[in-house]
Amino acid sequence: MSDRIRVAVVGYGAIGRHHARNLNELNEEVDFVGVVDASKNALAAAAELGYPTFQTLDEAVALGLDAVVLSLPTALHFEYAVGCIDLGLAVLVEKPIAMTSEQGAEIIERARAKGVPLMIGYVERFNPAVVALRDFIRAGGLGEIYGISARRVGTMPARIQDANVLIDIGVHDIDMAAFLLASDLELLAAQGGRAMLNDRVDYAFLALQGRGVPIHIESNWITPVKAREVFVTGANGICHVDCVTQSTRFAAAREFPAVSTFEGVVDQYKTGEFVTLTVEKEEPLRRELRAFFAGIRTGELPPPEISLVSLRIAEQATAMIDARTAQLAGK
Ligand SMILES: NC(=O)c1ccc[n+]([C@@H]2O[C@H](COP(=O)([O-])OP(=O)(O)OC[C@H]3O[C@@H](n4cnc5c(N)ncnc54)[C@H](O)[C@@H]3O)[C@@H](O)[C@H]2O)c1
């Protein structure tokens, strides 16, 4: 491979177009070969922005590729990841690595056997606000950690036809908890069900633990107001991160003096003591792509197995929810 990495995006949908934009702008580091998509509309949208387009991966491969970004529907990750690994291409596959952890483990095994760089796109690991929280925890800013509570809720994206809410978005927060605690995780309980979809779990509440720290995760596609946030409570206070706006705030533990008027109660409730921690804001996806290319060059990428932790927990939680639903229905 020459110094410049030749890379294509496969799947120009909701996330693929952000990969393409970033790759196009990272042109001092990589050669963006273009966009592969099976949809004519997707290719037309890419062509409008001046990106070279290909109906099949073979056409892009024929031009010479070193790496691919796979931003296809999750059900296609396995087939395409394995195909690209067999061609010797470095692969950045969007999260989750595949529809099942079994398929994910096979992708990892094949990449290792072939000596091909493989990374899974857990973008929150590259979110400056989440990294600032991780660093604050590591530096002892929160003292002993007593709990993590994450919410990723919103409406159902109609385009997602394969994965359930835990496999599609729950994995982000499970992975984030593992990242914040630098720990493996254990699922303790899962509740949820199918509120608006018949064929897949679309709301879930999980209880987990990692290093003895309680973790609560709420994931759903049934909330009309979008949220991507996490609270971490420790002996020294509490941190809050909004993953989208990249704000990381800390409120130190404090006494609440007694108040004797109703206005005083309301006032005390409103007066937050949050201070905003410094976050050098940057698009997380761009940082993720840069880390991928740096990893290809240095041979040092995060172990892909970490992506199986969140996927296995999402699978276990789905099975628990389905079993409970069946039990409640008297099946
Ligand atoms: N990291 C994140 O924050 C994030 C955000 C969104 C999606 N994702 C992940 O990215 C993946 C894609 O999600 P999305 O929301 O962009 O989906 P999408 O449906 O919007 O896009 C998928 C694209 O793949 C194309 N496609 C389908 N079959 C194809 C084939 N056989 N060959 C070539 N192209 C094909 C479709 O035409 C479409 O343009 C999913 O695995 C999802 O979990 C990650």
**For residue 45, how far is its CA from the centre of ligand 1 (angstroms)?**
15
Domain ranges within the chain, ordered by starting residue: 5-123, 125-284+312-328
Residues 119 and 304: beta-carbon distance below 8 Å: yes
- CB of 36 within 6 A of ligand 1: the answer is yes
Minimum CA distance residue for ligand 1 atom 32: 38
At residue 324, the pLDDT reads 93
User: CA–CA separation, 118 vs 67, rounded Å?
Assistant: 10
CA 202 vs. chain centroid, Å, equals 17
Closest CA to 125 of 265, 309, 269: 309
At residue 1, the pLDDT reads 58
Q: Cβ–Cβ contacts within 10 Å for residue 2, how many?
A: 8
At residue 256, the pLDDT reads 83
* Residue of 56, 58, 69, 72 to test ligand 1 pocket, by largest number of atoms within 8 Å of CB: 72
Domain 125-284+312-328 class, CATH top level: alpha beta
- Residue 234's DSSP bridge partners are 145, 237
- Is 194 buried (19+), middle (13-18) or exposed (0-12) by CB count in 10 A? middle
At residue 3, the pLDDT reads 79
Nearest ligand 1 atom, CA 161: 19
**For residue 160, how far is its CA from the centre of ligand 1 (angstroms)?**
8
Helix, coil or strand: residue 74: helix
CATH topology of domain 5-123: Rossmann fold (3.40.50)
Backbone torsions φ then ψ of 329, nearest 5 degrees = -80, 0
User: CA–CA separation, 151 vs 176, rounded Å?
Assistant: 11
Q: What is the pLDDT of residues 201-216, one digit of tens each?
A: 999 999 999 999 999 9
Averaged pLDDT in 10-residue chunks for the chain of 331 residues: 88 98 95 98 98 98 98 98 98 98 98 98 98 98 98 96 97 98 97 95 98 98 98 97 98 90 87 87 98 96 97 98 92 70
**For residue 285, how far is its CA from the centre of ligand 1 (angstroms)?**
15
- CB of 123 within 6 A of ligand 1: the answer is yes
Q: What is the pLDDT of residues 21-73, one digit of tens each?
A: 999 999 988 999 999 999 999 999 999 999 999 999 999 999 999 999 999 99
Q: Do domains 5-123 and 125-284+312-328 have the same CATH topology?
A: no
Residues 6+ positions from 307 with CB-CB distance below 8 Å: 95, 96, 97, 104, 120, 122, 175
List strand residue ranges (DSSP E) for the chain, in order.
Answer: 5-10, 30-36, 53-54, 67-70, 90-94, 118-121, 145-155, 186-193, 203-210, 213-220, 222-234, 237-242, 247-252, 275-276
**For residue 262, how far is its CA from the centre of ligand 1 (angstroms)?**
52
What would the two tokens of residue 274 be? 């949050």
Nearest ligand 1 atom, CA 16: 16
Residue 190: C-alpha distances to residues 98, 203, 230, 310, 319 (Å):
21, 10, 18, 14, 9
User: CA–CA separation, 82 vs 76, rounded Å?
Assistant: 10
User: CA–CA separation, 171 vs 196, rounded Å?
Assistant: 20
Instruction: Report the greatest alpha carbon distance in the chain.
Output: 76
For residue 216, give the amino acid letter: H
